[in-house]
Structure formats: C-alpha cells, structure tokens
Amino acid sequence: MSVPTKMKTKATKGVEVWCRFTNWCGIRLENETLLGYMLLVPTFVIVLGLVGYPFLLSVYYSFTDKTVGGSAPFVGLKNFIDLAKDHIFRQTIVNTFNYTVTAVIVKISLGLLMALTLNEVKLFRRVLRASFLLPWVVPTSLSVLAWLWMFSPQYSVITYIARQLGIVDHAIQWYAKPRLAMAAVQTVNIWRGTPYFGMIILAGLTTVPMELYEAAIVDGASYLQRFRFITLPHIWPILIVAALYSFVRTLGDFQIVWILTKGGPLNRTHLIATLAFRTAIQGKALGKGAAIAVFLFPFLVILIAMQLRYLRQE
Amino acid sequence: MATAGTRESVGVQESDQIISRLRQRLQRVNWTRTLVLTVAITFFAVFTLFPFGWMLLTSIRSDILGMSKAPFHVTSDELTISHYRMLLTETKFLLWMKNSLFVAGFSSVFAIIVGLLSAYSLGRLNYKGGGTAALVIFATYLIPPALLFIPLSVVVRFVGLKANSLWTLIVVYLTFLVPFITWMLSSYFKGIPKDLLEAARIDGASRLQAMVLVDIPLILPGVVSVFFFTFTLSWNEYLYAFTFINRATKLPVAVGVVNALQVGDIYYWGELMAGALLGSVPVVIIYSFMMDYYLAGLTAGAIKG
C-alpha cells in the first residue's frame, strides 16, 4: 500500500505547486473568452506562420521569376502564360484529373465491397480487418518500392502471373507505355486507399439498425433492394466526407508517381505535385513551380468548402 | 420470433415442418453466401497483402534476378540473410531509423503540447468565434504538402532553420500534426462529463487550475493514443523530408531507403525490400497494439466526434 500513498502525496504536491504558482502569478483567467483565445495562440502561430503565410508567398512567387537563393523580380502573368502554352503542363492537368477521378471512384467501389464483405464475416473478423488495413498503415514511400519491383521491366512478378494465366505472351513494359504507366500508378494509389474506404464504410455499416433489415426481409426485399434503400442512405454522409477527403489527398499525391515513374513516359504520368517539384526544386525555378502548384488551389477550395459545409450540417 | 406465433395457431407438427423448411432454405442461401464471401475475402487478402509477401520473399532470397524465371519456386539453399546484413552494415539504415525516431518523437511531443491547448479551448470552452476557429484549423489539416513545399523551402531558411537539419522537419511537420491533434482531442474533450470540472470550480479552482488538474488528466488515454497516431504520420511523411533534406546522414528512413539503394540503373532489390520491411516495423508495431485507436483516428477526418 505504500506505493499508492507515495504517488498520492506526489500528486497532491504537484497540485499544490501548480495552484500556488498560478495564484502567485495572479493568473486566474476567469474570462472564458480570453482563456479560449489565449489557448489558441500557439496553434494559430503555426496555422498563420507556417501555412497561411507560405501559401500567400507561393501566390506571390507565381507572379515572379523567383529562383532558389535568388531575388524575386515581378513578371506579372508571364508564368501562367508560359504554362498555358506548355504542352507538358496541359498534359499534367489532364493526368492529374484522370489519376484522381479514376482512382477515387475505384477506391470507393472496392472499399464498399470490402466493407460489405467484412460486415458479413464473423470468423477472424478482427484479424482480417487488421491485415486489410496494412497498405494504409505502412510508409507509402516504402511500400511503393515493392510495387516498383513488382512492375520492374524484366522481373515483373505481375507479368509472370499474367503469362502463366495465358493473358499475355510477352514481357509487359509497365513503365514504357503511357497507358500502362498510368494504370500502374493508379493501381498503387488504389491499393493504398481502398482499405481506408473499407474501414470508414465498415464503421458506418455497424451503425445501421438491424431492425430495418429484419423488417425488409419480412417484406421480401432482396439483398440489392436492402442495400439500395437501407444501407446506402445510412452510409451516404460518411461516404461523401470520406470521398471528399480522398479527393483532396489524391489530388496532391506525389510520392507514388515520383518513385514509380518520375512522371514518365513522355510526361504522361506527371501530376501537378511532381511537375512542380521538378520545376521548382530540381530546376530551381521557384516562381514557375509555385505557379504550377497554385493550380491545385481552386480545386482544393471547392473540395474543402464542400467538406466544411457537410461537417457543419451534422 | 415468427415461429413462436405460429406454434399456437397451427399444430406442433405443422410448425416443425415449417421450421425445417426454413432451415433448409437458410442452408441453401448460406452456401452461395459462403462461396461469395470466400471469393471476396480471398481477393482482398491477395490484393492487400501480396506486395508484403513479395517484399519478404525478395528480401530473403539470394538469387534475386533468377526469380524472374520461377518466382514462386523457392528452395531452402536459396534463403539468405545477406541482404539484411548488408543493409545494416553497409548502408546508413540504422542512422535513418534513428533520424526518423528523433523527428517523429519530437514533432509529436511538440504538436501534442500545442494541440492539447487548442483542443481544450475548442472542445471545452464556450465562447464566440470558437466554431470558426475550429473550421479554420480543420481546413488547414486538409491543405496538402504539395501546395506548401515550395514556399516553405524559403520560409524555413529565414526562420533560421539550417539546411539539412532535422529540426526543420520537426517544425514543418507541426503544420499537419497540430490541426490533426486539435481535431482529435477536441472531440475527446467534448465527450467527457463536466461534473468534476464544476466540483473543482466550486471548491475555488481557477479555470487554468481546473484545466491542468482536472480535465487534462481525464483525457490522458486519448492523448497517448493520439501521440502514437501522430508518430506514425511523422514517420511516414515523404515530400517535405525529400525536399528539405539532401544529406544522406540526415535522412529519415522513409526517404533514405528509397534514395540510397539505387546506384545508377542498378537497384539492390534484396536490400531495398529488406529496408522497406524493417523501416515499416515501428509503425506496424504501434498499429498492432493500438488498432482500435488507430481506426478511431482514421475515421476522425471523416466522422466528426
């Protein structure tokens, strides 16, 4: 019994010290509003100083010829006009759309299937849930290495399996053909993101009252009807919020493409983030790079506004 | 339930027939159900786990290039730990792990301190403007690094952070960790009852005293789980680390393994896969111990509270 007492005296001592300290400082902060704002100060130093300010700086840079370590001469709309003429940039915008929309739609569909499957399983449910989420848990840059290896031109195990199944009769050049390269980076994104949707939707499924299903079964509703009229309306809000979040994350994706294809072949897998990196960090043209990255902003504004509106409604 | 009703109106024999017929139907349905479920589970298991199996297999085989001819034919004399040995002795892998531990540990601690204060403010106190502040912080969480890495590369210089310093990463990671923690912990604060707080206030505790002595101890379990979640977020970060750190000795593991094990066009696949696996171990350990909290953190972005 001596240990708890010891801890207790230690704790009360701490209480005493803290009370004496705050009283000595005369800090009582009885005003709720004042205390509320004061506690937000450190967070807003970070939000304004390391997110808000850099963002404005980025917008400013996009109107200049800023280079790494150099000055930032104002050039007006030159960067944007250059970009509009640049076929690589136009290709990148198309790629980013294709990448994001395709990947998110497939992730939602597969995630929904994963959740519905797991929801039906009784045996080993926990183990299955835990292992299915692994792609989302591990560092993406490291798991992409496994895919880099699985898609490698000469030793691709995926090609090997496809050959054994008789689907193809030659080595698949994953990184040489634009369509295959895009499919490859999308596959990795889908692989990583599907479990996220799976788990979110599964969490939503468990909130649907069982009585509704029982009543529907008595009424003779088929599985599809039950899904359409009971399950879907219940998980819809969660699905929307998760989809918006996934759109934001996929739109700003960098590492999958950078490690797998570096934007090739023929810039057909470049995303806004990878092109901005190549231009600004490798090419040292910060101004032009910033102009590329800024193109993310309008889409982000729409997605974030939708997200916030949805959260507010709840 | 339905059969209990029928048992009274019809004879026992008849109701038994109905039950057995129902059972038959159920069993028939169950077969297709089991088949469909098995196929689906197998598909998802292969889809999600095959890359990990392939990593492991590659990392313990000696003749990696020979794998192309018969990838799944493994003989015992092919097995080797040489890739792991080379990874640990000939590369800076252990240093990268140490760097990651340093960055993830410190950034999580600082972010928790800052985030705890704002979470308390937003989750526990009632005042005008709090709701707007919460939305601003949540919006910050959604801004991707892709939009910020270019200007931040300039900002960190004139804040006084040196090139290739791990402290740069610690500071920069606060941009996504603090909003995340604020969001998570403020919902924890909303979930705990106010009785104790009110009792302490009646006993004469000031607001600040009550906060530190009553409310914050109550959500310590939440703080611990959020700490580990933010730890994995830091550990997994790639773009900022890739942009701000150029020296091989200062890289976190998520960048180090990717950068250093490719010489020209030659990839050291065995070592790469060994490094990818070992570099994932800390987050997988955290995940396996805190899976339920991890899932809660996952859904926090999507489901409020």
Rounded average pLDDT over B36-40: 93
pLDDT at res. B102: 98
Shared-domain flag, residues A107 and A25:
no
Which of B47, B127, B291 lies nearest to residue A191, judging by beta carbons? B47
Shared-domain flag, residues A257 and A159:
yes
Shared-domain flag, residues A202 and A307:
yes
pLDDT at res. B303: 45
Say how many domains are in chain A: 2
Q: List pLDDT tens digits, range B167-191.
A: 999 999 999 999 999 988 998 888 8
Verify whether the Cβ–Cβ distance A32 to B287 is below 8 Å. Answer: no
Name the band, by pLDDT with cuts 50, 70 and 90, for residue B7. Answer: very low
Rounded average pLDDT over A279-285: 92
Residue A156 lies in a domain: yes
pLDDT at res. B294: 76
Q: What sign has the CA pseudo-torsion A202, A204, A205, A206?
A: positive
| pLDDT exceeds 50 at position B72 | yes
Select the residue from A149, A223, A227, A262 to test the B interface by mutation, using most B Cβ atoms within 10 A: A149
Rounded average pLDDT over B99-112: 97
Rounded average pLDDT over B16-29: 70
pLDDT at res. A11: 62
Query: Are B282 and B235 a contacting pair, CB within 8 Å?
Result: yes
Shared-domain flag, residues A1 and A125:
no
pLDDT at res. A168: 86
Rounded average pLDDT over B188-211: 83
Query: Are A200 and A242 a contacting pair, CB within 8 Å?
Result: yes
Task: Tell me the chain A residues in contact with residue B138 when contact means C-beta distances shorter than 8 Å.
Answer: 308, 311
Distance in Å, alpha carbon of B128 to nearest chain A alpha carbon: 7
Interface of B with A in 234-253 (CB under 8 A): 235-236, 238-239, 242-243, 253
Q: List pLDDT tens digits, range A126-170.
A: 899 999 999 999 999 999 999 999 998 877 888 888 888 888 888
Distance in Å, alpha carbon of B192 to nearest chain A alpha carbon: 18
Q: List pLDDT tens digits, range B239-248.
A: 999 999 989 9
Question: The domain that contains A129 carries what CATH number?
Answer: 1.10.3720.10
Which of A29, A150, A297 lies nearest to residue B147, judging by beta carbons? A297
Shared-domain flag, residues A20 and A156:
no
Interatomic CA distance for residues A312 and A236, integer angstroms:
16
Q: Which of A12-16, A223-227, B204-208, B255-259 has the lowest mean pLDDT?
A: A12-16
Domain spans of chain B, in order of start: 2-59, 83-300
Task: Tell me the chain A residues in contact with residue B172 when contact means C-beta distances shorter than 8 Å.
Answer: 50
Judge whether B68 is closer than 8 Å to chain A, CB to CB: yes
Question: Cα angle vertex B147, ends B141, B150, to 5°?
Answer: 125
Judge whether B71 is closer than 8 Å to chain A, CB to CB: yes
Task: Tell me the chain B residues in contact with residue A307 when contact means C-beta distances shorter than 8 Å.
Answer: 142
Rounded average pLDDT over B255-264: 82
Q: List pLDDT tens digits, range A238-263.
A: 898 889 989 999 999 999 999 999 99
ipTM of the complex: 0.90
Judge whether B295 is closer than 8 Å to chain A, CB to CB: yes
pLDDT at res. A29: 64
Task: Tell me the chain A residues in contact with residue B139 when contact means C-beta distances shorter than 8 Å.
Answer: 304, 308
B93-124 vs B166-191: helix axis angle to the nearest 10? 40
Judge whether B4 is closer than 8 Å to chain A, CB to CB: no
Percentage of the residues of chain B whose pLDDT score is greater than 90: 49
The conformational region for residue A204 under phi > 0 = left, psi -120 to 50 = alpha, else beta, is alpha
Q: Which domain holds residue A137?
A: 78-313
Judge whether B206 is closer than 8 Å to chain A, CB to CB: yes
Specify the CATH architecture of the domain B83-300: Orthogonal Bundle (1.10)
pLDDT at res. A155: 79
Shared-domain flag, residues A14 and A143:
no
Interatomic CA distance for residues A159 and A112, integer angstroms:
28
Rounded average pLDDT over A169-175: 86
Query: Are A113 and B48 a contacting pair, CB within 8 Å?
Result: no
Residue A39 lies in a domain: no
Interatomic CA distance for residues B178 and B158, integer angstroms:
22
Report the residue of chain A nearest B267, measured CA to CA. Answer: A149
Shared-domain flag, residues A223 and A100:
yes
Report pTM: 0.89
Question: Cα angle vertex A231, ends A225, A233, to 5°?
Answer: 100
